[in-house]
Amino acid sequence: MRPRPARIAFGAVLGLGAVWTGLACWVQLAGALRIGAGVGLVVLALGLWRLGRERALRGWIGLAVAGCLVGLWYQSIVPRQDRGWAIDVSRGVRATQTGDIVTLSDIRDFHWTTPDTATPHWIVRSYDLATLDSVEMFTSVWSSPAIAHLLVSFGFSNGDHVVFSAEIRRENGEAFNELGGFFRQFELVLIGATEDDIVALRSQIRHETVTRYPVALDADERRALFLAYVGLAQRLQTAPEFYNTVTANCTTVVWRLAHGLRPDLPLGAGLVLSGYLPGYLAKLGVLGGAGSRIDPGMIAGRMARGIGYSQAIRMP
C-alpha cells in the first residue's frame, strides 16, 4: 500500500524540522546539554511520527506546538556586544559625521608578525567626502577559488585609504565554521582598517591570493557607498547583528549597501560563491578594469626601498 500524500508531507516536515533543530542544538549547546537535547529530540520526533500515523490531526497539532517552542528558544538567542572578543575584532569601526567630514574611530592599524600575532594599534582619522576619488575591491582567496573574502577600499586625493571589511566577530579561541554561521554562533562586525594592516595581513603574512580591482562609480555613487558603510557602522554600534554564512556575510553585506545605490542590481551566484564576484560585477559593468594580483615578494622589495604599502600595491 502506498503511503498517503498527507503522511508523506507530515514525515517531510517532521524530518526537516528535526534536522534543523538538531543542527541548531549542536551549534548552540555543549557538553551534557547537547547530548540531552539530542536524545530528547529523537524521542520527540519518534513520538510525533507515531502520533501522526495514528491520529493525523493530533500529529500536526503536536508538530506545530513543538515548532513554536523551538522557535521561541531560537529567538531568545540574541547578538551581544560584551563577549570576550579576539583582539583583531574586539572593536568595530565607529563613525560620526559633520557635513562633509566623517570621523572614523577604532580604525585597526595593527603590525602583524604572524597570522595570529600582532602589535595592536587603533587610530582615529577624519575624511573629507569632497576628496573621495576612488573605490577599489580586494578579493582574498585562501583555499577554493570559488570562495573569497571581500574588502572595499576608499581612496582620497591626499593619498589616504581606509578599508571596510564585514567579518565574523570571533571570541578568544574561537574559529570560524560555516555551520555555525547558519545558526547564530557569530556576531557581525564591521572592521575599518588601514591597507597596511588588513590587506598586508592577507597578502604578506597569510600568503593568500589577493587581487585588487578598480570599481567604476561616479562621485555621487562613491559618496553614497561610503556613507552606507558609515550607516552600517553606526547601526552596529547600537544594535548588534548576527553574521550569516549566506545572507549576512562579507559579500552580501556589500551587495545590500550597493543595492541602495542601484535598486536594479540583480541577484547572482557571485553573491554566494564570492570568488566569482568579480565576474558578476564585470557583467554589470561595475568593474573599472582588470584585476591586479598582489605579489608579496615584489611588494616587500618595494617597501624595503621606503615605498609605503598603499603606493607599493598600486605601482605598475
Residues 164 and 17 in one domain: no
Better-predicted residue by pLDDT, 145 or 272: 145
Residues 48 and 161 in one domain: no
Residues 135 and 29 in one domain: no
Q: How high is the mean pLDDT of the chain?
A: 89
Residues 289 and 198 in one domain: yes
Does 288 reside within a domain?
A: yes
Proportion of the chain above pLDDT 90, given as a percent: 67
User: Domain range holding 230?
Assistant: 87-312
Q: What is the pLDDT of residues 104-129, one digit of tens each?
A: 999 999 999 999 999 999 999 999 99
Residues 101 and 23 in one domain: no
Residues 100 and 70 in one domain: no
Does 80 reside within a domain?
A: no
HEC per residue, the chain: CCCCHHHHHHHHHHHHHHHHHHHHHHHHCCHHHHHHHHHHHHHHHHHHHHHHHHCHHHHHHHHHHHHHHHHHHHHCCCCCCCCCECHHHCCCCEEEEECCEEEEEEEECCEEEECCEEECCEEEEEEEHHHEEEEEEEEEECCCCCCCEEEEEEEECCCCEEEEEEEEECECCCCCCHHHHHCCCCEEEEEEECHHHHHHHHHHHCCCEEEEEEECCCHHHHHHHHHHHHHHHHHHHHCCCECECCCECHHHHHHHHHHCCCCCCCCCHHHCCHHHHHHHHHHCCCECCCCEECCHHHHHHHHHCCCCHHHHCCCC
Does 82 reside within a domain?
A: no
Q: What is the mean pLDDT of residues 148-157?
A: 94
pLDDT given for residue 81 in this prediction = 92
Residues 172 and 96 in one domain: yes
pLDDT at 159 > cutoff 60: yes
pLDDT given for residue 178 in this prediction = 83
pLDDT at 315 > cutoff 50: yes
Q: What is the pLDDT of residues 126-139, one digit of tens each?
A: 999 999 999 999 99
Task: Among 30-34, 146-150, 226-230, 259-263, name the one with the lowest average pLDDT.
Answer: 259-263
Total number of domains in the chain: 2
Which of 46, 75, 104 is the endpoint of a domain?
Answer: 75
pLDDT at 1 > cutoff 80: no
Residues 66 and 117 in one domain: no
Task: Indicate the pLDDT class of residue 205, thresholds 50, 70 and 90.
Answer: very high
pLDDT given for residue 172 in this prediction = 92
pLDDT at 40 > cutoff 90: yes
